[in-house]
């Protein structure tokens, strides 16, 4: 009996244009109306399902790679905070980079909007264009995003995740080396290798979902998870009911064990609906 469905967004649940369209929203509505929990498990800085295009659907959020967990109304349930001394050391060691310091009460960026947007310039294709549009809209509309923050200003908040991109290969190597030297305290789990997504060691989507399941009184064998990329590996490995779309990274497919169709063809939403309907035919979710 699956009582919790948890899915990554980009490349997994969302459509080709990285949006939750009417087909996807209808599937999520059927899941929640069956009595099961629907959870967004994402690297995004997501506060509610509504902020990700799901309207008024009751969705829990395991955001920022599992470091910030919220209920269906956006209320904070749990935050896994990075050691402030490590955050300060990292920001001061790489002043050339624009770090997005993600906290439960907002994102605090160590550079200008223009410098932050410029860090995405080396990406290509539809993913880049969609990400650029989404990020610009978010930056202009989101009052919780604060630019040109000093390390001291950022450290006035509980930082749970650090996002950073750079096109400079030398800086990439230096930052990778720094993180390797601090692997006992920090982990980098990006959805794609072009980005650094840093949180406390041991914090990931799988850990966040396990915490939420326990909080809701749901056992781990009653959870189904879906993911396609590097930051989904621990989640896919942890839960017995794990699925990856056909377009997923090979490592994600191996971690999941079961591969569905292409995400752009709604393979994840269709699988969730089939599961709910099969269960509804024989069981009731209490």
Q: Residues spanned by CATH 3.40.50.1000 within the chain?
A: 4-79+204-282
Q: Which residues contact 235 (CB under 8 A, 6 or more apart)?
A: 6, 8, 41, 66, 204, 205, 206, 209, 225, 227, 242
Q: What is the CA radius of gyration of the chain?
A: 18
Q: What is the mean pLDDT of the chain?
A: 92
Average pLDDT over residues 11-17: 96
Query: What pLDDT sits at residue 131?
Result: 55
For residues 256 and 238, is the Cβ–Cβ distance under 8 A? no
Q: Residues spanned by CATH 3.30.1240.10 within the chain?
A: 84-200
Helix H or strand E encompassing 50: none
Query: What pLDDT sits at residue 286?
Result: 41
Query: What pLDDT sits at residue 121?
Result: 75
Query: What pLDDT sits at residue 15?
Result: 97
CA–CA distance, 69 with 131 (Å, rounded to integer): 23
Query: What pLDDT sits at residue 224?
Result: 98
Average pLDDT over residues 134-154: 79
CA–CA distance, 199 with 253 (Å, rounded to integer): 24
CA–CA distance, 217 with 213 (Å, rounded to integer): 6
- Would you state the CATH architecture of domain 4-79+204-282? 3-Layer(aba) Sandwich (3.40)
User: Which of 95, 230, 234 lies closest to 164 in space, CA to CA?
Assistant: 95
**The CATH number of domain 84-200 is 3.30.1240.10:** yes
Predicted TM-score of the model (pTM): 0.91
- Ranking 28-32, 93-97, 112-116, 155-159 by mean pLDDT, the lowest is 112-116
């Amino acid at each position: 009996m699956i009582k919790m469905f948890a899915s990554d967004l980009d490349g997994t649940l969302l459509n080709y244009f990285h949006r939750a369209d009417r087909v996807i929203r209808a599937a999520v509505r059927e899941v929640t109306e069956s009595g099961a929990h629907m959870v967004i498990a994402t690297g995004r800085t997501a506060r509610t399902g509504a902020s990700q295009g799901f309207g008024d659907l009751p969705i829990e959020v395991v955001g920022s790679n599992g470091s910030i967990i919220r209920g269906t109304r956006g209320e904070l349930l749990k935050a896994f905070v990075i050691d402030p001394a490590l955050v300060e050391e990292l920001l001061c060691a790489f002043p050339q980079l624009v770090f997005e310091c993600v906290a439960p009460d907002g994102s605090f960026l160590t550079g200008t909007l223009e410098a932050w947007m410029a860090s995405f310039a080396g990406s290509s294709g539809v993913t880049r264009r969609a990400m650029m549009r989404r990020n610009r809209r978010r930056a202009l509309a989101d009052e919780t995003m604060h630019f040109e923050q000093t390390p001291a200003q950022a450290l006035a908040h509980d930082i749970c995740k650090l996002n950073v991109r750079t096109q400079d290969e030398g800086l990439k190597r230096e930052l990778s080396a720094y993180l390797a030297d601090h692997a006992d305290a920090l982990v980098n789990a990006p959805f794609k290798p072009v980005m650094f997504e840093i949180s406390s060691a041991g914090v990931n989507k799988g850990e966040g979902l396990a915490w939420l399941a326990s909080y809701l009184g749901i056992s781990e064998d009653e959870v189904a998870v879906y993911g396609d990329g590097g930051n989904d590996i621990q989640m896919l490995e942890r839960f017995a009911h794990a699925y990856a779309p056909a377009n997923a990274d090979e490592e994600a497919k191996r971690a999941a064990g079961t591969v569905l169709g292409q995400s752009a063809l709604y393979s994840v939403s269709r699988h969730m609906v089939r599961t709910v309907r099969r269960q509804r035919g024989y069981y009731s979710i209490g």
